[in-house]
């Protein structure tokens, strides 16, 4: 990777005008690293259009898509940076994020994917909690009941996409889990940076809040797809084994968070 690193940020957008300017500003305010910001807007009908028109530095593609995964894939293919990030229109980066990520990639050339800590915020931007995450663990990635790697605080080397890896457009709610699991099983190296990089926003209209059941169903579908040892079992044994693995993953995460001081973190 050359010394002058460039970061590409891809933001899928659809009727998130109330939040998108804040997301854009969180990118534009980053210092010390060259960047481009690609907005894939699915023909929004709210105030998104006028906001995007006044932001001259953006690369905006306004066209119909087949869902969030499809929009992101189009943006990933357009990216020209050495590092690629994925920022949803209702989330935001924290100051110093790009510099910390670029410095880490430079110091760790074997890392393909880097993720960090994040904060949960409410609709108005108030911090609800600080989430310190753990180093990469394939067992926890596979068997936890939730995805513990936050997509909003995750960055990829562009070679991940140049190798032909993209989101599976069949997934609409757990596309990040399926993608991360697939990359890990292919041997790509995940690295954790112990820095707060981004804010993940909770609000009533977010997909993570409105479609929790569908997200859980897709997560299980992805696991069965990528874990032939587990998927070969029929019910009820598969449910029993899955439940045991989930409990073990929860216990491992809880124990590691206690040991590292990340559990119950308020900063």
Distance between CA 214 and CA 216 in Å, rounded? 5
Tokens standing for residue 178 = 């399926």
**pLDDT for residue 265:** 63
- Cβ neighbours of residue 76 under 8 Å, at least 6 residues apart? 10, 84, 161, 166
How much is the average pLDDT of 93-103? 98
User: In this predicted model, what pLDDT tens digit does every residue of 40-75 receive, in sequence order?
Assistant: 999 999 999 999 999 989 999 999 999 999 999 999
Assess whether pLDDT exceeds 60 at residue 2: no
* Phi/psi at 149 (5° precision): -95, 115
How much is the average pLDDT of 112-137? 96
Q: Whole-model pTM?
A: 0.94
Partnered with residue 190 across adjacent β-strands are 113
**pLDDT for residue 206:** 67
**pLDDT for residue 15:** 94
| Domains observed in the chain | 6-260 (3.90.550.10)
Closest to 142 in 3D by CA, of 176, 104, 181: 181
Closest to 140 in 3D by CA, of 45, 247, 14: 247
């Amino acid at each position: 990777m050359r010394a002058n690193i460039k970061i590409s940020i891809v933001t899928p957008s659809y009727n998130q005008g109330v939040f998108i300017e804040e997301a854009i500003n969180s990118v534009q305010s980053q210092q010390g690293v060259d960047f481009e910001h690609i907005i894939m807007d699915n023909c929004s009908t709210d105030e998104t259009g006028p906001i995007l028109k006044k932001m001259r530095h953006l690369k905006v593609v306004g066209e119909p898509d087949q869902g969030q995964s499809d929009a992101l894939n189009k943006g990933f293919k357009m990216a020209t940076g050495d590092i690629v990030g994925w920022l949803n229109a209702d989330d935001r980066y924290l100051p110093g994020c790009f510099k910390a990520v670029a410095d880490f990639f430079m110091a760790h050339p074997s890392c393909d994917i880097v993720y960090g800590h994040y904060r949960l915020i409410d609709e108005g931007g108030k911090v609800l909690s600080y989430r310190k995450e753990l180093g990469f663990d394939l067992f926890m990635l596979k068997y936890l009941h939730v995805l513990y790697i936050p997509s909003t605080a995750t960055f990829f080397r562009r070679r991940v996409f140049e190798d032909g890896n993209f989101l599976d457009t069949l997934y609409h709610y757990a596309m990040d889990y399926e993608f991360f699991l697939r990359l890990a099983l292919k041997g790509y190296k995940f690295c954790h940076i112990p820095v707060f990089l981004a804010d993940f926003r909770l609000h009533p209209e977010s997909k993570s809040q409105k479609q929790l059941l569908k997200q859980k169903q897709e997560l299980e579908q992805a696991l069965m797809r990528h874990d032939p040892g587990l998927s070969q079992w029929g019910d009820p044994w598969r449910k029993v084994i899955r439940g045991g693995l989930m409990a073990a993953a929860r216990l491992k995460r809880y124990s590691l968070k206690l040991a590292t001081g990340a559990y119950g973190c308020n900063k």
